[in-house]
Amino acid sequence: MFNVRYLVLIGIVLATAALRLVPHPPNFTPIAAMALFSGAQFSDRRIALAVPLAALFIGDLIIGFHITMPVVYGSFALVVGVGSWLRPRPGILPLAGAVLAGSTLFFILTNFGVWVLLSSYPKTLAGLGACYTAAIPFFQNTLLGNAVYSTVLFGGLALAEKGWPVLRQPGPALVPK
């Protein structure tokens, strides 16, 4: 018999990842929220990391690859870690803090990656500053998207757990040993 909770969580993550493929405002995507959700909901850290990164990779197979992918994937792996921190701290305030931390982490790391890996900005402190300054308008959408999608993911799961108690039962793996 399969662990129903894990199968539902994997389905939620994959469905959320598919939303990345529909038209959306710049940086208003569910990916960081999906990484937070995975870190907070999967008790097995390997699965918590593998599921959102695999979903991200599948999306990139469709959207296309780019030179900053290692930085993007690394930042989302760290956001999964923020989600793991969130696991024993349920509630709106910890979730809001995790959304802010994950959004900020993504902003700092990916824009640093843009500065290092692309030729868009001079490799000077002023160039780095210009890179971050140019990215500020995108941070608003990143934060708003993460807040909206995190609310939907965490709130939706909480509502589903009320209706289907089997979803409240965590398991160590996809199938029992």
Residue by residue, DSSP assigns the chain as ---HHHHHHHHHHHHHHHGGGS--STT--SHHHHHHHHHHH-SSHHHHHHHHHHHHHHHHHHH---TTHHHHHHHHHHHHHHHHHHTT--SHHHHHHHHHHHHHHHHHHHHHHHHHHSSSS-SSHHHHHHHHHHHHHHHHHHHHHHHHHHHHHHHHHHHHHHH-GGGG---SSSS--
Per-residue model confidence as pLDDT tens digits over 30-45: 888 999 999 998 888 8
Query: In Å, how far from its chain's centre is CA 48?
Result: 11
CA distance 10 to 5: 9
- Tell whether the torsion through CA atoms of 122, 126, 132 and 133 is positive or negative: negative
Q: How many CB atoms lie within 10 A of CB 163?
A: 7
Asked whether 35 and 80 are in contact (CB, 8 A), the reply is yes
Q: Where are the domains of the chain?
A: 4-166
Rounded to the nearest 10 degrees, how much is the dihedral formed by the CA atoms of 134, 102, 146, 86?
A: -170
More confident position, 147 or 87: 147
Q: What is the overall mean pLDDT for the chain? A: 88
pLDDT for the residue 173: 46
pLDDT for the residue 4: 80
Per-residue model confidence as pLDDT tens digits over 106-151: 999 999 999 999 999 999 999 999 999 999 999 999 999 999 999 9
Q: What is the CATH number of domain 4-166?
A: 1.10.1760
64 CB burial (10 A radius; 0-12, 13-18, 19+): exposed
In sequence order, the 6+-apart residues with CB closer than 8 A to the CB of 26 are: 138, 141
